[in-house]
Amino acid sequence: MSVLLMIVVGAVLGWVMTVILQIQGSRGALTNIAGGVAGALLAGLLLGPLLGRAALWAGEYRLGSLLLPLLGAAVLVVALNLLHKRPVR
């Protein structure tokens, strides 16, 4: 359940970033959604336990363990958009 939560959070954040940045075309939207999912999973599954936060995959839903995948998704989506210099409307 917790991995599904991280996937949903990452996908939603990637889609929201696509709307905020007004990126047109399906490739930009799919890249942001995939980046959001990857960032959420990396941060939630790898960085959380390394930083001493409760692991979401263990079913421990604490504020720190819920914010870390959100932050990871945001950082990766922003990094992807900086690497792909797309024209913004």
Query: How many domains does the chain divide into?
Result: 1
Local confidence band at 25 (pLDDT 50, 70, 90 cut-offs): low
Closest CA to 53 of 74, 68, 70, 71: 68
pLDDT at 37 over 80: yes
Residue 11 resides in a domain: no
pLDDT at 88 over 60: no
pTM for the full model? 0.75
Residue 29 resides in a domain: no
Cβ atoms 76, 35 nearer than 8 A: yes
Residue 23 resides in a domain: no
Residue 46 resides in a domain: yes
The domain in which residue 74 lies consists of 1-6+36-56+63-81
pLDDT at 1 over 60: no
In angstroms, the CA 49 to CA 33 distance is: 24
CB burial of residue 10 (10 Å; 0-12, 13-18, 19+): buried
